[in-house]
């Protein structure tokens, strides 16, 4: 068999390895239907839940658009590829499902924690950071959702023995 005829087959085998090198954020949102007395109560609880998770809310909170885009939270590390930054992207809409009972209103809440990895060799200096997209932080998003539900206090209460 000639080497020239093996080249296309070898390229086809190596194609998945090259595509894995492309860095893209993989969106992994946490979505739940929660109940609140009013939309304002849900908005305040969502802001507090993000703030309790040490993300700067600030000007990225827009109650008119029903979304929060927090600032970046840095977690720098002394080695290339070990430091990262994360931010919260949270939104909600009124739910069409009849999940809530009177006097509560149901809302569909989506929370993402976007993550970037620092690929710079000068990894402890944010001025030299080289941020590359990474899969979302699902555990952090679930934690914020749990805080939201705890603040709203609309979960089921288990009777203990």
DSSP string, 23-72: -------EEEEEEESSHHHHHHHHHHHHHHTT---GGGEETTTTEEEPPP
Q: Which domains does the chain have, with CATH numbers?
A: 23-152 (3.30.530)
> Which residue in 32, 24, 22 sits closest to 99, CA to CA?
32
pLDDT number for residue 59: 82
Mean pLDDT of 28-34: 91
Q: Is the pLDDT higher at 50 or at 19?
A: 50
- Percent of the chain topping pLDDT 70: 76
Q: Which two tokens stand for residue 119?
A: 């690929």
pLDDT number for residue 25: 62
104-150 pLDDT, tens digit per residue, is 889 999 999 999 999 999 888 889 999 999 999 999 999 999 999 99
Distance CA 15, CA 29 (A): 29
Distance CA 75, CA 79 (A): 12
Mean pLDDT of 38-42: 94
């Amino acid at each position: 068999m000639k080497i020239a005829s093996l080249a296309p087959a070898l390229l086809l085998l190596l194609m998945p390895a090259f595509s894995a090198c492309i860095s893209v954020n993989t969106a992994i949102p946490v979505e739940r239907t929660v109940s609140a007395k009013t939309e304002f109560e849900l908005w305040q609880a969502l802001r507090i839940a993000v703030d309790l998770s040490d993300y700067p809310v600030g000007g990225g909170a827009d109650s008119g658009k029903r979304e929060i885009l927090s600032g970046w939270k840095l977690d720098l590390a002394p080695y290339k590829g070990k430091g990262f930054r994360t931010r919260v992207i949270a939104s909600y809409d009124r739910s069409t499902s009849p999940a809530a009972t009177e006097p509560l209103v149901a809302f569909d809440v989506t929370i993402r924690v976007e993550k970037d990895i620092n690929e710079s060799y000068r990894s402890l200096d944010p001025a030299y950071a080289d941020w590359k997209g990474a899969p979302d932080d699902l555990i952090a998003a679930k934690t914020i959702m749990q805080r939201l539900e705890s603040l709203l206090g609309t979960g089921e209460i288990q009777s203990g023995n």
